[in-house]
Chain A
């Protein structure tokens, strides 16, 4: 008996080691194909830290904190662009979350009878999620011309895809008893959703949507690269033109904005959870 157990353990262990060995070989092989050279990384690591060093020094060679007024010389202009980016992220998240909310029930296997509908909705959402936002933005720039609109639509589509998946998974996790209860009292599909499903999922939906907003602020910054408006194009320009101090100033502005949003959404989410617990 003990022998059999020991053999089973030994077999599992052998399989694990074999698997790890195979993984290591594949990693090395792909590194070779991708021309990754650890010796080069080691030699050139100084370049990476020297870039960090450069972006924290002003043009006159002094460190940036020695003259904050000079470091953030364009703060008014940049704050306005940051505001545009935030609005883009907000609208994109709102539109995407609404679309995801409407579609998620069609992608949940416990609420939708037709397997075909579930399949089709899921594939559609995968498409929306997998195509990079940048690609959508580029296509929309051609269709809708430059400005925030292409960025908002690109964010909305990607958000719809990402949130729909999360929302559908939350819906599939609910307790079906309230749903049965509503059906037993003669409620239709809409009543089912409104009275049985929504109270169970609302707080999770809100939590994911707020997280998505924070992610979209970063996404909106990047979309500025393709002319979608906001802080992105300025960031691109200062990086490419080696206005080093501006790079650190803009990055700090973006990071600070995301931190503030994180704190604010955290409070909103706690309030929503708090309300949920009370009711």
Chain B
């Protein structure tokens, strides 16, 4: 070969190596990614639901993705503030709270329920054999909420009751945060509370249905006495500080999950969810407004 051709080939080889080296640069900075989710269910259930998906993400993105189970909704917020959690699955209210307190995260995909519905509802359950028909009937009884940062489990209930001119702490005997949607239903089942707030997609898709399928409770034992307006669905977020091509890979991994690892994807929603779709912060502006409003209710 002439000298000219050898030089061109060598240059080509070097540039290919350089490009691939740059593309893998972020792997040195991020030897592993931490994925955390709000504990809508309890620790063991969360681990069970997400571990296959975590394995899929590790394969797609190219670095190990570790699932961290946290104790409450606020822990995901603080974890992302400290940049120890890279990918966080939030509820709408905990996402709004994170942005309101200055955490630098951006939502990139939104959950989608059956029928392409990108929203869900907050409901109040009572025991089927109890005499209560409306919230007014429950004066002096005990209310079980979920977590201070839960949309369907605290913020929307408080907003709705404010519209009914009720203050939860005055109308109900006791208001307690049970910690998770599962705990709220269990507390209602045991009789510790007389009404519990929870999330609900449709007749066949709610925390109650998930628990009933696992045999923890019987869904026939419960009845809904209140359903809220539709709430925007939960986002998955990543840190703003991640490199652009890592963000792209994470986004692609989530958007393609239903095709590339159907089983792991279906496990996330007990088979009732539809593929992820992209979303931006704009979808959550009403949630930020609601959260600020509920904050102001405290001072009344």
In the complex the two chains form, what is the Cα distance from A210 to B147 in whole Å?
Answer: 35
Asked if A15 lies at the interface with its beta carbon under 8 angstroms from chain B, I say no
Q: Which residues of B247-276 have CB atoms within 8 Å of chain A's CB atoms?
A: none
Asked if A146 lies at the interface with its beta carbon under 8 angstroms from chain B, I say yes
- Interface pair A146/B77, CB less than 8 Å apart: no
Residue of B nearest to A141 (CB): B192
Asked if B97 lies at the interface with its beta carbon under 8 angstroms from chain A, I say yes
Tell me whether chain A's interface is mostly helix, strand or loop, or mixed: helix
Asked if B177 lies at the interface with its beta carbon under 8 angstroms from chain A, I say yes
* Known contacts A142-B192, A146-B176, A146-B193: A241-B148 contact under CB 8 Å: yes
The listed residue (B82, B97, B148) touching A47 by CB distance below 8 A is B82
Residue of A nearest to B93 (CB): A241
- Interface pair B72/A240, CB less than 8 Å apart: yes
The listed residue (B100, B174, B177, B193) touching A237 by CB distance below 8 A is B177
Q: Which residues of B264-300 have CB atoms within 8 Å of chain A's CB atoms?
A: 295, 298-299
* Known contacts A240-B74, A240-B149, A241-B148: A146-B192 contact under CB 8 Å: yes
Asked if A63 lies at the interface with its beta carbon under 8 angstroms from chain B, I say no
In the complex the two chains form, what is the Cα distance from A241 to B298 in whole Å?
Answer: 12
Complex contacts, A200 vs chain B, CB 8 Å: none
Quote the shortest CB–CB distance from B185 to chain A (angstroms).
14
In the complex the two chains form, what is the Cα distance from A145 to B174 in whole Å?
Answer: 10
Complex contacts, B142 vs chain A, CB 8 Å: 145-146
- Interface pair A146/B174, CB less than 8 Å apart: yes
Complex contacts, B191 vs chain A, CB 8 Å: 145
Complex contacts, A227 vs chain B, CB 8 Å: 174, 176-177, 192
Scan A238-271; emit 1 where CB is below 8 A from any B CB, else 0: 0111110000000000000000000000000000
* Known contacts A146-B176, A239-B74, A241-B149: A73-B192 contact under CB 8 Å: no
- Interface pair B97/A241, CB less than 8 Å apart: yes
Most chain B beta-carbon neighbours within 10 Å: one of A236, A241, A242: A241
- Interface pair B148/A73, CB less than 8 Å apart: no
Asked if B101 lies at the interface with its beta carbon under 8 angstroms from chain A, I say yes
Scan B75-91; emit 1 where CB is below 8 A from any A CB, else 0: 00100011010000000
In the complex the two chains form, what is the Cα distance from A75 to B177 in whole Å?
Answer: 22
Quote the shortest CB–CB distance from B134 to chain A (angstroms).
22
Complex contacts, A236 vs chain B, CB 8 Å: 148, 177
The listed residue (A73, A142, A239, A242) touching B190 by CB distance below 8 A is A142
Quote the shortest CB–CB distance from B51 to chain A (angstroms).
18
In the complex the two chains form, what is the Cα distance from A146 to B84 in whole Å?
Answer: 36
Most chain A beta-carbon neighbours within 10 Å: one of B82, B100, B147, B149: B82
Asked if A199 lies at the interface with its beta carbon under 8 angstroms from chain B, I say no
Q: Which residues of B156-177 have CB atoms within 8 Å of chain A's CB atoms?
A: 173-174, 176-177
Total A residues in contact with B, Cβ cutoff 8 Å? 18
- Interface pair B177/A145, CB less than 8 Å apart: no
Asked if A233 lies at the interface with its beta carbon under 8 angstroms from chain B, I say yes
Scan B186-215; emit 1 where CB is below 8 A from any A CB, else 0: 000011110000000000000000000000
In the complex the two chains form, what is the Cα distance from A175 to B190 in whole Å?
Answer: 53
Residue of B nearest to A40 (CB): B84
* Known contacts A146-B176, A233-B176: A242-B192 contact under CB 8 Å: no
In the complex the two chains form, what is the Cα distance from A237 to B191 in whole Å?
Answer: 23
Asked if A44 lies at the interface with its beta carbon under 8 angstroms from chain B, I say yes
- Interface pair A242/B77, CB less than 8 Å apart: yes
- Interface pair B147/A240, CB less than 8 Å apart: yes
In the complex the two chains form, what is the Cα distance from A239 to B142 in whole Å?
Answer: 23
Residue of A nearest to B72 (CB): A240
Asked if A147 lies at the interface with its beta carbon under 8 angstroms from chain B, I say yes
In the complex the two chains form, what is the Cα distance from A147 to B175 in whole Å?
Answer: 10
Complex contacts, A243 vs chain B, CB 8 Å: 295, 298
Quote the shortest CB–CB distance from A131 to chain B (angstroms).
20
In the complex the two chains form, what is the Cα distance from A242 to B295 in whole Å?
Answer: 11
Quote the shortest CB–CB distance from A167 to chain B (angstroms).
35
The listed residue (B77, B82, B192) touching A44 by CB distance below 8 A is B82
In the complex the two chains form, what is the Cα distance from A233 to B77 in whole Å?
Answer: 20
Complex contacts, A233 vs chain B, CB 8 Å: 176-177
Asked if B120 lies at the interface with its beta carbon under 8 angstroms from chain A, I say no
- Interface pair B176/A237, CB less than 8 Å apart: no
Scan B3-46; emit 1 where CB is below 8 A from any A CB, else 0: 00000000000000000000000000000000000000000000
Asked if B73 lies at the interface with its beta carbon under 8 angstroms from chain A, I say yes
In the complex the two chains form, what is the Cα distance from A47 to B79 in whole Å?
Answer: 10
In the complex the two chains form, what is the Cα distance from A44 to B177 in whole Å?
Answer: 30
- Interface pair A73/B299, CB less than 8 Å apart: yes
- Interface pair B74/A242, CB less than 8 Å apart: yes
Q: Which residues of A199-241 have CB atoms within 8 Å of chain B's CB atoms?
A: 226-227, 233, 236-237, 239-241
- Please name 28 pairs of A and B residues whose Cβ atoms are closer than 8 Å in the assembled complex, sorted by A: A44-B82, A47-B81, A47-B82, A141-B192, A142-B190, A142-B192, A145-B142, A145-B191, A145-B192, A146-B142, A146-B173, A146-B193, A147-B174, A226-B176, A227-B176, A227-B177, A237-B148, A237-B177, A240-B72, A240-B73, A241-B74, A241-B97, A241-B149, A242-B74, A242-B77, A242-B97, A242-B100, A243-B298
Across the A-B interface, the 4 shortest Cβ-Cβ residue pairs: A227-B176, A240-B74, A146-B174, A240-B148
* A contact set with B: CB distance below 8 Å: 44, 47, 73, 141-142, 145-147, 226-227, 233, 236-237, 239-243
7 new A-B contacts at CB < 8 Å, known A147-B174, A226-B176, A243-B298: A141-B192, A145-B192, A146-B192, A236-B177, A239-B74, A242-B100, A242-B101
